Amino acid sequence: RNKFLAKLLSNCNSLARVRRIHGDIFRSRILDQDRIAFLWNNIMRSYIRHDSPLDAIQVYLGMVRSNVLPDRYSLPIVIKAAAQIHDLPMGKQFHSVAVKLGFVRDEFCESGFITLYCKSGKLGDARNLFDENPERKLGSWNAIIGGLNQAARGKEAVKMFIEMKRNGFEPDDFTMVSVTSACGSLGNLSLAFQLHKCVLEAKPEEKSDIMMMNSLIDMYGKCGRMDLASQVFDEMPQRNVVSWTSMIMGYAAHGETVEALECFREMRESGVRPNNVTFVGVLSACVHGGLVEEGKAYFEMMKSEFGLEPGLLHYGCVVDLLSRDGRLEEAKEVVEGMPMKANVVVLGCLMGGCEKFGDVEMAEWVARHMVELEPWNDGVYVVLANVYASRGMWSDVERVRKMMKATNVSKNPAYSFATSTFG
């Protein structure tokens, strides 16, 4: 019976379905009849799979209240849940439970704790935990390499990878995905070739792994070699949304607008459904190419044709696109119509347009909102002063400088919103 329910949970294709089955299990009191963690673990795992870590944690707490002892599979699941919501205090409680139950050196528990500490910004604690274990497993190496990469510590991640190889460990696809991402962030083409060689020398089933191939596309794209990214892409026997999106993002990042949009067209023709990240790439390409009307059309397409809700990055691209074209009032309307509060990046795009076209009134409006969000941000004052200076409004330039002095904001002459995150 438990195995049947576990299979039922694993086949759930939505969070609502998981909750419905969980409710049925709860009402049937099956969980009261078995004093083992197996079914509890499967419920928690299903919630994690559907990006609902808080539900997973609630199930764990219910299991503990029912006097069912967590096993070596329970703890990695809730550790992952704590890491997803960046709840370090809760994660530390799970760490204490693992110590008490003797699971702290279990490969899955240890790798989970390393990931938790890395995601919480406690890289020193993660490294200490890793270093304290003389009998490290591959999972722990993957966790520390992945954690360093996600914390933008690419050089350290690569060093750990080299150390791992020296210790006789063979990388798997998870290792390669992390280290190729780190290599891409460093833009180290020589290392990229070496890592590609590692992939080619891998077992046949790993060589054809979509995730690993996607990581190579991403790596070459970040290294500025879209020709090599395209070669990997063309040789793939199967492609998914990440494969296409990685190509689009790579082209967009290097200003190859035509190629990015052509890739998006081919993606749709092949029947692969784009996601939110795909549209960030498409809109970024439009920003680079100055394709205002096309960008607006793609923005509407993601909502009307694919039912995707635009996020801050999508709105930021549209604001940037309009601002660069001098359509500042239209860009302001987009900002005011956003379902979420605009952040400094989105507002910064509009401010960049104000600086470019010398729109004093709009610059003052943007500055007020940006100062509310980040009063310490010297860039707001610098760009506002530049707008005043472009109009010969020297008394206002002096007023801004006095404001900076009064609020202890020091001028950083290199700061400008003219080049935005999206272009």
Encode pLDDT of 208-234 as tens digits.
588 889 999 999 999 999 999 999 999
Helix or strand or coil: residue 230?
helix
- Region of poorest pLDDT, from 96-110, 112-126, 174-188, 201-215: 201-215
Q: Read off the pLDDT of each residue in 400-418 and give the average, rounded to a whole number.
A: 61
The model's pLDDT over 54-94, given as tens digits with 9 standing for 90+, comes to: 999 999 999 999 989 898 899 999 999 999 998 999 999 99
Strand (E) positions, 168-276?
none
Tell me if 18 is assigned to some domain.
no
Q: Which residue has the higher pLDDT, 371 or 150?
A: 150
CB 259 within 8 A of CB 251: yes
The answer on 209 and 247 residing in a single domain is no
Number of domains in the chain: 3
Asked if 420 and 348 touch (Cβ cutoff 8 Å), the reply is yes
Residue 377 has pLDDT above 90, yes or no: no
Task: Average the pLDDT over 271-278 and give the result.
Answer: 97
Same domain, 272 and 380: no
Does residue 9 sit within a domain? Answer: no
408 pLDDT band, cuts 50/70/90, is: low
Mean pLDDT (whole number) for 273-300: 98
Q: Examine the pLDDT at 410 and tell me if it is beyond 60.
A: no
Residue 229: Cβ-neighbour burial (10 angstroms; 0-12, 13-18, 19+): buried
Q: What angle in degrees, to the nearest 10, is found between the helix axes of 173-186 and 138-150?
A: 30
- Helix 107-119 × helix 88-101 angle, to 10°: 160
Question: Is pLDDT of 247 > 70?
Answer: yes
Domain-ending residue, one of 185, 220, 238? 238
Q: How confident is the model at residue 373 (pLDDT cuts 50, 70, 90)?
A: confident
What are the C-alpha distances in Å from 221 to residues 201, 263, 380?
22, 14, 32
Average of per-residue pLDDT across 255-283: 97
> Residues 223, 153: one domain?
yes
- Residue 270 domain-assigned? yes
**Whole-number pLDDT of residue 164:** 95
Among 212, 238, 264, residue at a domain's last position = 238
pLDDT score of 206: 53
Domain annotation covers residue 73:
no
Written as one string, the DSSP assignment of 66-107 is TTPPP-TTHHHHHHHHHHHTT-HHHHHHHHHHHHHHT-TTSH
- Exposure string of 23-46, with b = 16+ CB inside 10 Å and e = fewer, is eebeeeeebeeeeebebbbbbbbb
Q: Are residues 246 and 228 in the same domain?
A: no
pLDDT, the chain, mean: 89
Q: What is the CA radius of gyration of the chain?
A: 25
Same domain, 423 and 332: yes
Kindly state the percentage of the chain with pLDDT values over 70: 94
| CA separation for the pair 415, 384 (Å, rounded) | 12
Q: Which residues contact 187 (CB under 8 A, 6 or more apart)?
A: 222, 223, 224
Please report whether residue 94 resides in a domain. no
Same domain, 243 and 155: no
Encode pLDDT of 350-371 as tens digits.
999 999 998 999 999 999 888 8
Q: Which letter does DSSP use for residue 37 in this model?
A: S
C-alpha count within 13 angstroms, C-beta hemisphere, residue 107: 7
In a domain, 48, yes or no: no
User: Does one domain contain both 253 and 234?
Assistant: no
Q: Does residue 127 lie in a domain region?
A: no
Q: Return d(Cα 221, Cα 224) in angstroms, integer.
A: 5
In the structure encoding, which two tokens stand for residue 62, read together?
A: 């219910």
Residue 51 pLDDT exceeds 60: yes
Domain co-membership, 301 together with 325: no
Residues 286 and 333 in one domain: no
Q: Which of 278, 308, 338 is the last residue before a domain boundary?
A: 308
Q: Between these two residues, 276 and 386, which has the higher pLDDT value?
A: 276
**Helix, strand, coil distribution of the chain in percent, nearest 5:** 75, 0, 25
CATH number of the CATH domain containing 189: 1.25.40
Task: Note the pLDDT of residue 415.
Answer: 42
The answer on 320 and 303 residing in a single domain is no
**CA 395, 401, 403, 409: dihedral to nearest 10 degrees?**
170
> Which of the residue ranges 53-62, 169-178, 327-336 would you say has the lowest mean pLDDT?
169-178
pLDDT band per the 50, 70, 90 thresholds, residue 400? confident
Residue 147 lies in a domain: yes
* Structural domain of 186: 138-238
Clarify whether residues 218 and 252 are in a common domain.
no
Residues 276 and 178 in one domain: no
Buried b (16+ CB within 10 A) or exposed e, 86-118: ebbebbbebbebbeebebbbbbbbbbbbbbbbb
What is the rounded average pLDDT of the residues 372-379? Answer: 81
pLDDT of residue 97: 92
